[in-house]
Amino acid sequence: MARLAEAVLAIRGKGAAHCEGHAVDITDERAVTAAIDEFANRLGGLDLALNSAGVAAAGDLLETPAADWRWILDINVLGIVYSCRAEAPHMIAAKGGLIVNVASAAAFACGSRMSAYNASKAAVVALSETMFQELAEHGIHVAAAMPGFFRTRLMEHARAPEDARGFAQKMMQRSNLEADAVAAQVLGRAADGATHIVLPGGYRWLWRYKRLAPRAFLRWMTGIRRKAFTRKG
């Protein structure tokens, strides 16, 4: 709650005087729907929704417990689903709107030891692509954001072996991207009609490589894993 209050104050300080913060359990569909309905009904509609619920889990497939899979899918996938199901009716009634679902570059650059996280983010992209088709007739645009590593607090509550946690934290710290810059780019490109928003630039190269030569891409990713284990040995 303290961080939420801090974020609200920061946003108000940038000129959004009517910014509000509400704490909701994203895995509780009724609570999510009630919060969104209350907000939209009170303000006369909903024009924009950015859904960015996310947690992380890491580890090889065989070392990631089923409980961690359920935890991450409940939040990263169903949390987005519940939000979209609550938001869409308000936009349909208004005959327009913009929904941005935040996935990750992990949705296509599926690195090893990240099976649960990769799968959850790939599901968000698939969901967004499906929604794009279903909601287009109502004037609603849907985009999926797939950013690479940037500086967030994602790993603070991650379920991961210490070495995997440390690697991810190191990659975030190496990034020169801050969350506010990422948000500005994502919203700007979504408003311009983009459907798949990949950033920074290096990740767009990976996105093209994966689509154009998927087998070669996987062999390259496998080589990266082999090199990592060789260094450990």
Q: Give CA–CA dist 108/203, Å, rounded.
A: 10
Closest CA to 100 of 226, 202, 196: 196
Name the H helices within the chain: 2-13, 29-43, 66-73, 79-94, 115-135, 162-174, 179-191, 201-212, 214-232
Residue 82 known to be catalytic: no
SS3 97: strand
Q: Give CA–CA dist 189/185, Å, rounded.
A: 6
Look up residue 99 and give its DSSP letter: E
Q: Pick the catalytic residue: 82, 117, 203, 209?
A: 117
Residues noted as catalytic: 117
